[in-house]
């Protein structure tokens, strides 16, 4: 197990290198020049030259690439062009808001989706199974920003239970402001968790070991919880891991709708203000978070199913 873990961690190094390299070159082969995009079409040549020197765009691409890699290793992305603050400082201050939104949303999706998926599999073909499947499809087809607006109308304006904007102060205030954004994303993602759980449970229910255990007189509850549920968790863990990465990137719209601070809102602001270094740093951080979540999911496979271990 330890060797497998070490090998998987080592494999993330070239993955991170390739992802960071792709971000660097993709942003530089775009048709628009970053300096021109920031200053606009009416910028003077002297202003463009000065901004390029400030951003380091006047240097050869190879030099820019080496400096970029060094900055990523040190987690130093320079200063924001719009605010003048250190980008790393801004990211550190906003990262907790995005992470808590993503984790709270996936927790809600798991708490709702997994039990309902198990119950729907056990009640396969019943009326309640059809209700759950239709509800899951409705949730999956609903955009996050639309559901967020509905949640604000229902629980902030019509029934003033939760605030509709901001992040609050203190632990209790933070949770209070987190409720609506987390419920918005959690309810949408619970649909796919429910469907994957149901499908995986049904697949395990039809296997030979289940029929053998029941023929031997093993209690149905023991078979369902000890054998079927654990063996069906790998697809569920996969989709939950993918949900975390989706929610981190999907937080862009949710943070904007609820005027909540976070990396998503920072990235949107960087696009609007043409703050090229901030946008580059946000993309790198998003990639690092996705790679880390995928690593955790891979390691969890070996725990749930020892056959995966070498």
Paired tokens of 19: 């992802």
Domains of the chain: 2-74 (no CATH), 95-308 (1.10.3720.10)
Evaluate if residue 212 carries a pLDDT over 60. yes
Q: Quick one: pLDDT at residue 306?
A: 59
| pLDDT tens sequence across 126-138 | 888 888 888 888 8
Distances (CA, A) of 52 to 16, 43, 84, 101, 270: 27, 12, 16, 36, 17
pLDDT at 31: 62
Return the higher-pLDDT residue of 266 and 233.
Answer: 266
- Mean pLDDT computed over every residue of the chain: 77
Confidence of residue 249 (pLDDT cuts 50, 70, 90): low
Assess whether pLDDT exceeds 60 at residue 308. no
Mean pLDDT over 278-294 rounds to 83
Q: How much is the pLDDT for 66?
A: 86
23 pLDDT exceeds 80?
yes
pTM attached to this predicted model? 0.74
Instruction: State pLDDT tens for residues 250-274.
Output: 667 777 777 788 887 788 778 777 7
pLDDT at 29: 74
pLDDT at site 303: 67
Model confidence over 98-121: pLDDT tens digits? 888 888 888 888 888 888 888 888
Q: Is pLDDT of 24 > 70?
A: yes
């Amino acid at each position: 197990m330890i060797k497998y873990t070490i090998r998987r961690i080592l494999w993330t190094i070239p993955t991170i290198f390739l992802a960071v390299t792709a971000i660097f070159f993709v942003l530089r082969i775009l048709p628009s020049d970053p300096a021109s995009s920031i200053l606009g079409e009416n910028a003077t040549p002297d202003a463009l030259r000065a901004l390029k020197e400030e951003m380091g765009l006047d240097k050869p691409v190879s030099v820019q690439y080496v400096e970029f890699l060094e900055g990523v290793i040190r987690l130093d992305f320079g200063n924001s062009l719009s605010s003048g603050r250190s980008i790393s400082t801004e990211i550190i201050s906003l990262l907790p808001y995005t992470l808590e939104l993503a984790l709270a949303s996936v927790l809600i999706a798991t708490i709702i989706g997994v039990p309902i998926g198990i119950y729907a599999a056990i009640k396969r073909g019943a009326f309640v199974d059809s209700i759950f499947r239709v509800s899951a499809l409705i949730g999956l087809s609903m955009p996050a920003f639309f559901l967020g607006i509905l949640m604000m109308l229902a629980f902030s304006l019509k029934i003033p239970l939760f605030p509709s904007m901001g992040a609050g102060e203190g632990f209790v205030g933070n949770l209070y402001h987190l409720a609506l954004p987390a419920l918005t994303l959690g309810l949408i993602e619970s649909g796919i968790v429910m469907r994957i759980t149901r499908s995986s449970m049904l697949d395990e229910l039809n296997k030979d070991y289940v029929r053998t255990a029941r023929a031997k007189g093993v209690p149905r509850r023991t078979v369902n919880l000890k054998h079927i549920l654990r063996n069906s968790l790998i697809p569920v863990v996969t989709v939950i891991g993918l949900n975390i990465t989706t929610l981190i990137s999907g937080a862009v719209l949710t943070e904007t709708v609820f005027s909540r601070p976070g990396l998503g809102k920072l990235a949107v602001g960087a696009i609007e203000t043409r703050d090229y270094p901030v946008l580059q740093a946000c993309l790198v951080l998003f990639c690092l978070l996705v790679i880390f979540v995928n690593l955790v999911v891979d390691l969890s496979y070996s725990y749930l199913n020892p056959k995966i271990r070498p």
